[in-house]
Structure 1
């Protein structure tokens, strides 16, 4: 079985792992690895529903006029035949999970972000092991489908001082790195003090809120630069001016965004990533 849709990255590898193909309870996992960027084309006529997941970086996903960013604990869900774009940064792995059936929790959702729990993520990786016992695939598929949950923005009614406030902010910002909400406003929304929120960021991520947001924005820019002009990328990820974005990008990576995009297009030299991730088909 093949799944349509161009991959516009070079060099790129794609391994296919199919179990029970042709049956309603079958599953096909495509694993893509690239030195440069990955881009999944917009005009789709797929007969399968799809989930896009990357364990080692952000995905930029576009449906209609809205672009969102998908983190490693999330997937981008697309109902079959729905037009969309998905982009990944350099040195990133992307798993494309193809299903004939809609996961119950995602019924009625044409395209959007869903959380994927740790066990479901583990099973996706297991299905791409060369020695995986295909007799276990139906149970793994069921567990993966059960491990998905539509992702909403963090609630504003968390108990004061409760755990996970930094994670709640990080989740919202991962979907929209250009969000200009300040630390004090986040703290007010989540009913905690600014100091508590700062402490939670240090505990969860080992850095301050501003450092984490800067790294997120620059990582998000890597998934956009080849297909969008620098000025638009700067605006989308929250910089007040292209010059501010260029300065921050150059400090982090040692290249300007324009040079990074040019190097990706020619594929002469991959853009260094601040968080390089891990890079046999079965039918």
Structure 2
């Protein structure tokens, strides 16, 4: 029997924990925009993935903006929250600790191949505990282990005023406000904020803003927007300026980079 998606954000659903006999379990949620899965953790690893829609995943002091061509691996015991930035069909794969495809405590951004996507869809339709579920689980674990990992993330600070600034800029990535402008909004001097950026995030305000804008690029490109529109949406003066910054950061043009997960 196919798994029926839930449409709520209650945590710790009964009967979904992975086991040695069923090392991969799928939890399906169909959620509207701006829904929150509050911060929580599991004794098992998790792949957070949306068949469609865009989600934001935050683990500790790092956040990711995740379109359908990407997924986030979250190791066991890592406290995480998920926010839907638009209507999304969220699919979480719970992975038993001994079967985890990645070692260590670091989260990973994964390319989702067409094969992995179809395996996730097939798992949602397989008979619970049956031989097909077992075979699909084995294939999913193998495909996850082969997935390319990507250096796309945005670091978050602890200091309250700087955190407020960062959250507002994540919500408004195209904003042209200067650091002094933001300082007025959050009740600190520009000099203080500049010191906080270096101390807590190890980079300048402009460098951090570039990371935010590049993180927002993936969902926009996934929607099929032309690069000129993406550049404008993210506050770049031109498509060439956006492409140059993207290539400087990732070593590839935006077109080449995002085509990798479609092959």
Runs of at least 4 residues off by over 4 Å:
9-14, 16-21, 102-105, 130-133, 204-207
Match in the other structure for 1:179: 214
Q: Which has the higher contact order (CA 8 A, sep 6+)?
A: 1
Contact persistence 1:105–1:150 (CA under 8 A): no
- CA–CA distance in 2 between the matches of 1:130 and 1:39? 28
> Which blocks of at least 5 consecutive residues in structure 1 are unaligned?
1-8, 155-174, 181-201, 218-237, 241-283
Shift of 1:13: 9.2
Aligned pairs for 1:55-134 within 5 A: 55-101=51-97, 105-129=101-125, 134=130
- Counterpart Cα distance in 2 of 1:32 and 1:116: 18
Cα contact 2:126–2:132 (8 A) shared by 1: no
Q: Is structure 2 residue 149 aligned with structure 1 residue 151?
A: yes
**Count of matched residue positions in the alignment of Structure 1 and Structure 2:** 168
C-alpha contact (below 8 Å) 1:40/1:87 kept by paired residues: yes
Q: TM-score, normalised by structure 2?
A: 0.51
Question: Measured at CA, do residues 208 and 116 of structure 1 come closer, stay the same or move farther in structure 2, by a change above 3 Å?
Answer: closer
Distance 1:207 1:94, change over 3 A: closer
Structure 2, gaps ≥5 residues long = 1-5, 153-209, 216-220, 238-263
In structure 2, relative to structure 1, the CA distance for the partners of 1:112 and 1:11 (3 Å cut) is same
CA distance in structure 2 between the partners assigned to 1:28 and 1:132 by the alignment: 9
Structure that is richer in helix per residue: 2
